[in-house]
């Protein structure tokens, strides 16, 4: 038994690394649906079906708690999965909650009316599917008022990162930031709404300017997970090793993951 972390590809490894650093005694199982990546260009029904299948795979393999370390899956599938009913003793959580908590400086369980927050102009960089879902705007509206959100669909960035073409990824980041600034010239904060994007955080920051606060998800999600497990220690699990599975070609995904994280990672067929 372990904590499951799911992503359509390799981006969730940034979350896994932060979680492993924060929770040294917790075993993790990572599942990458590489055969169907990227999710960001798929329609919501397709994303839901693929996400549900992947989460059920992790549940069936001893992961009672699964983290959707994929913003696209969190945006397009999480609410629907929870509304449909999660099996007894199982949990599935997304990555939006820690971001909203950080931005609004209030806990998710705080159900008081929406209120004004310090940041009033927020840029969101995400995949086309995440942007189309308007999930971030919807969740933010429950907790904050007076916040102008401008979202930029960052087509091509995930593909470039997964292919290891960081020169192209950097060029695309600059292009997408320029496009965002034409719509919102002076954002106060920027959300990197894809778990691949922390690898490009310095490039986002450089293109946005030093005065823009950039929120990246890995450490926020790790802290939130640590708090959740502290309150629900029954989800810690009894395993001792971390394992990596993929629906794609394990050898190819292992090579990409090793390049992606700059350390050796070996995937098994899942």
Q: What is the pLDDT of residues 148-157, one digit of tens each?
A: 999 999 999 9
Q: Which helix (H) or strand (E) holds 131?
A: helix 128-133
pLDDT of residue 40: 86
pLDDT of residue 216: 83
Mean pLDDT of the region 167-183: 98
Candidate list 16, 19, 26, 70, residue with the active-site label: 70
Candidate list 15, 75, 131, 194, residue with the active-site label: 194
Predicted TM-score (pTM) of the model is 0.88
pLDDT in tens, 29-44: 999 999 998 898 899 9
Cα–Cα distance between 224 and 89 in angstroms, integer? 20
For the purposes of burial, counting CB atoms within 10 Å of the CB of 173, is it exposed (0-12), middle (13-18) or buried (19 or more)?
buried
Q: Catalytic site residue 154?
A: no
Q: Catalytic site residue 194?
A: yes
Handedness of CA 150, 45, 269, 34 (dihedral sign): negative
């Amino acid at each position: 038994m372990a904590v499951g972390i799911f992503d359509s590809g390799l981006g969730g490894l940034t979350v896994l690394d932060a979680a492993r650093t924060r929770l040294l005694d917790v075993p993790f199982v990572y599942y990458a649906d590489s055969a169907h990546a990227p999710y960001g260009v798929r329609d919501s029904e397709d994303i839901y079906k693929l996400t549900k299948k992947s989460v059920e795979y992790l549940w069936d393999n001893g992961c009672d708690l699964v983290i959707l370390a994929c913003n696209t899956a969190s945006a397009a599938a999480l609410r629907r999965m929870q509304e449909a009913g999660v099996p007894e003793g199982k949990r599935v959580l997304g990555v939006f909650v820690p971001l909203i908590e950080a931005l609004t400086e209030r806990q998710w369980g705080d159900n008081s009316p929406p209120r004004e927050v310090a940041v009033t102009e927020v840029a969101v960089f995400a995949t086309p599917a995440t942007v189309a879902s308007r999930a971030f705007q919807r969740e933010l509206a429950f907790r904050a008022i007076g916040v102008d959100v401008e979202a930029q669909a960052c087509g091509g960035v995930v593909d470039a990162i997964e292919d290891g073409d960081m020169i192209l990824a950097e060029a695309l980041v600059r292009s997408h930031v320029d496009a965002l600034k034409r719509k919102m010239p002076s954002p106060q904060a920027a959300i990197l709404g894809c778990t691949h994007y922390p690898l490009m955080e310095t490039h986002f920051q450089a293109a946005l300017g030093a005065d823009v606060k950039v929120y990246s998800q890995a450490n926020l999600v790790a802290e939130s997970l640590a708090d959740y497990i502290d309150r629900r220690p029954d989800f810690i699990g009894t395993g001792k090793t971390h394992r990596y599975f993929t629906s794609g070609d394990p050898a190819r995904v292992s090579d990409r993951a090793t390049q992606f994280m700059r350390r050796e990672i070996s995937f098994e067929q899942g």
